[in-house]
């Protein structure tokens, strides 16, 4: 006979004592009860605990509630967040009393039941166990001793079996009793199998879900704001750039030279990552800067600079009117980043520098355009330089006369490029149909000069050329034979 059975019987014999329970005070199971049985229970997240708690703040093996034969105790099993008894964190084994509250992670319990002075000591319980063990097979001499499972079975199925008096009436009721005994036996055998199968299926689905919902490491937001204002007696120049994740928006205002622009564009990921890497190197020092560190003079200033930086979980906003190491490094990192973008880099140039650059681009474009018939690549290079010059002139308001000249030349070059591309592609197809792969390969070479080497069309024509070269070689080998 088990110790738990004897414990329940001893409670019956010692009147005034009720089974101790844990009552859920909050959460999804609020109001439900969990009975405590000797020698005690373990509580934690793992499934092999007597009481499994799947709530936040609970460790794998969090706490133990134990019975010493007289009193109930609770102890912390080395959990991360601790065990709280009546809102006080415990550091050692503590005795439980009815009405106590227990906090384990985000779950709160009430300890319920009535204590009794008649509870047997550990020695008495041992004696009862030994005495009843010798008698448990003597059912005829002690008919009042019945197995706990029989008691549960009788009470559980009384709704079907009728009262105890009716169960002894005639053979009809005896047959019904045998039938229900058979049903009960089948339930005892099959129910555990069903439960185990269901549990295993639940665990499998949970593991699959956990794999799909892989927790991604938290990414800190990236933000960069740069502003520069230069003042002179006859002009005010302002440049502003804002980068959030992979989008940049910038503004240029130049009162004297009429440069005004507001643009927004996506930036390639590689450039953003390089900028972030450079800024992370100085993020700790930059986060410690204050405006007073820049030794700002009183009154109007010639140059005003401001940087707002959020990177690697750190943020600061600094206005600088003099040199500071981390501020200068942040500004230099942005200038390196801006130099890779044709639109963005002009914001870091003076009006005179921009006009000189535009003039230089236009001169190069004219030279390439004049020699486009010598090599197809010259028309491509002419278009690139015309476009760069046009972009520089486009920042000015009103537009300088060079802007309109550049626009017209760009349109002419683009029309010639389109015509050349169409003719060369048609020639390549024609030579291929006529079974002349050597000439088709030669045309491919001209097309590759015309196209941008970074473009998909360039790679496509290159693959055609490789195939035509292979076919031409095969033809020549066949002719020799």
Confidence of residue 177 (pLDDT cuts 50, 70, 90): low
Q: In which domain, by residue range, is 47 found?
A: 18-112
Tally of domains in the chain: 4
pLDDT of 218: 52
Same domain, 300 and 337: yes
pTM assigned to the model: 0.47
Q: 236: Cβ–Cβ under 8 A, 6 or more apart, which residues?
A: 229, 230, 253, 255
Mark which of 192, 212, 232 sits at the end of a domain: 212
Q: Exposure of 409 by Cβ count < 10 A (0-12 exposed, 13-18 middle, 19+ buried)?
A: buried
152 in any annotated domain: yes
Same domain, 307 and 393: no
Same domain, 377 and 336: no
296 in any annotated domain: yes
Closest CA to 32 of 92, 87, 94, 112: 112
138 in any annotated domain: no
Using CA atoms, how far apart are residues 263 and 180, in angstroms rounded to an integer?
Answer: 84
pLDDT of 429 over the 60 cut: yes
The pLDDT of 418-447, averaged and rounded, is 95
183 in any annotated domain: yes
pLDDT of 128: 40
Predicted confidence (pLDDT) per residue in 278-319, tens digit: 888 888 888 887 765 555 444 455 788 889 888 877 788 888
Same domain, 194 and 234: no
The CATH number that applies at residue 247 is 3.30.1560.10
The CATH number that applies at residue 52 is 2.60.200.20
Same domain, 230 and 337: yes
Same domain, 204 and 236: no
The pLDDT of 172-188, averaged and rounded, is 64
Same domain, 203 and 231: no
436 in any annotated domain: yes
pLDDT of 159: 34
pLDDT of 63: 92
Mean pLDDT score of the chain, rounded to an integer? 78
Same domain, 364 and 476: yes
Strands across the sheet containing 107-112:
33-35, 21-24, 107-112, 101-104, 83-85, 88-89
pLDDT of 210: 58
Mark which of 347, 366, 392 sits at the end of a domain: 347
How far lies 333's CA from each of 98, 272, 279, 315, 341, in Å? Answer: 67, 11, 7, 17, 14
Using CA atoms, how far apart are residues 315 and 71, in angstroms rounded to an integer?
Answer: 56
Using CA atoms, how far apart are residues 107 and 53, in angstroms rounded to an integer?
Answer: 8
Biggest CA pair distance of the chain? 124
9 in any annotated domain: no
13 in any annotated domain: no
How many C-beta neighbours within 10 Å does residue 357 have?
A: 17
Closest CA to 104 of 153, 56, 37, 152: 56
pLDDT of 74 over the 80 cut: yes
The pLDDT of 84-107, averaged and rounded, is 89
pLDDT of 356 over the 50 cut: yes
Bridge partner list, 263: 250
Confidence of residue 478 (pLDDT cuts 50, 70, 90): confident
pLDDT of 83: 94
Confidence of residue 207 (pLDDT cuts 50, 70, 90): low
pLDDT of 183 over the 80 cut: no
pLDDT of 179 over the 70 cut: no
pLDDT of 404: 96
pLDDT of 192 over the 60 cut: yes
Predicted confidence (pLDDT) per residue in 435-473, tens digit: 999 999 999 999 999 999 989 999 999 999 999 999 999
pLDDT of 79 over the 80 cut: yes
Predicted confidence (pLDDT) per residue in 306-355, tens digit: 898 888 777 888 887 655 577 888 888 888 888 777 777 777 788 888 89
- Among 77-86, 203-212, 290-299, 333-342, the range scoring the smallest mean pLDDT is 290-299
pLDDT of 294: 53
Same domain, 341 and 227: yes
Same domain, 469 and 383: yes
How far lies 332's CA from each of 174, 249, 307, 317, in Å? Answer: 97, 19, 12, 17
7 in any annotated domain: no
Same domain, 360 and 318: no
Mark which of 189, 212, 235 sits at the end of a domain: 212
Same domain, 108 and 154: no
């Amino acid at each position: 006979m088990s110790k738990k059975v004897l414990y329940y019987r001893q409670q019956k014999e010692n009147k005034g004592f009720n089974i101790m329970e844990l009552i859920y005070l909050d959460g999804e199971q609020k109001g439900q009860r969990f009975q405590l049985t000797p020698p005690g229970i373990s509580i934690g997240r793992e499934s092999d605990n007597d009481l499994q708690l799947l709530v936040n703040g609970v460790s794998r093996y969090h706490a133990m509630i134990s019975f010493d034969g007289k009193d109930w105790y609770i102890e912390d099993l080395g959990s991360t967040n601790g065990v709280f008894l009546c809102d006080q964190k415990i550091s050692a084994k503590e005795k439980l009393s009815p009405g106590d509250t227990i906090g384990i992670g985000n779950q709160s319990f009430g300890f319920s039941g009535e204590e009794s002075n008649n509870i047997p000591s550990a020695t008495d319980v041992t004696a009862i166990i030994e005495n009843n063990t010798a008698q448990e097979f003597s059912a005829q001499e002690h008919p009042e001793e019945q197995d706990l499972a029989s008691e549960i079975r009788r009470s559980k199925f009384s709704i079907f079996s009728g009262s105890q008096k009716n169960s002894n009436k005639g053979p009809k009721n005896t047959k019904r009793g045998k039938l229900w005994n058979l049903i009960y036996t089948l339930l005892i055998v099959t129910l555990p199998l069903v439960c185990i199968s269901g549990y295993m299926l639940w665990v499998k689905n949970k593991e699959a879900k956990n794999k799909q919902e892989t927790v991604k490491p938290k990414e800190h937001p990236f933000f960069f704001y740069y502003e520069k204002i230069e003042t002179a007696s006859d002009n005010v120049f302002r440049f502003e750039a804002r980068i959030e994740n992979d989008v940049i928006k910038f503004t240029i205002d130049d009162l004297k030279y009429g440069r005004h622009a507001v643009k927004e564009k996506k930036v390639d990921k590689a450039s953003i990552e390089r900028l972030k890497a450079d800024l992370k190197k100085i993020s700790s020092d930059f986060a410690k800067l204050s405006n007073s560190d820049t030794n700002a003079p009183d009154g109007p200033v010639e140059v005003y600079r401001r940087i707002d930086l959020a990177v690697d979980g750190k943020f600061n906003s600094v206005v600088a009117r003099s040199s500071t190491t981390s501020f200068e490094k942040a500004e230099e990192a942005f200038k390196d980043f801006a130099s890779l973008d044709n639109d963005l880099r002009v914001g870091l140039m003076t009006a005179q520098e921009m006009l000189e650059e535009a003039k230089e681009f236009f001169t190069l474009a004219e030279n390439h355009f004049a020699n486009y018939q010598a090599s197809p690549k010259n028309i491509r290079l002419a278009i690139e330089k015309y476009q760069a010059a046009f972009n520089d002139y486009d920042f000015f308001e009103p537009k300088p006369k060079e802007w309109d000249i550049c626009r017209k030349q760009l349109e002419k070059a683009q029309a010639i490029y389109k015509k050349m591309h169409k003719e060369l592609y048609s020639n390549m197809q024609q030579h291929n149909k006529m079974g002349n792969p050597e000439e088709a390969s030669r045309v491919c070479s001209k097309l590759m000069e015309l196209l941008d080497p970074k473009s998909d069309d360039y790679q496509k024509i290159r693959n055609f050329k490789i195939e035509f070269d292979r076919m031409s070689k095969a033809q020549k080998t066949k002719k020799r034979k």
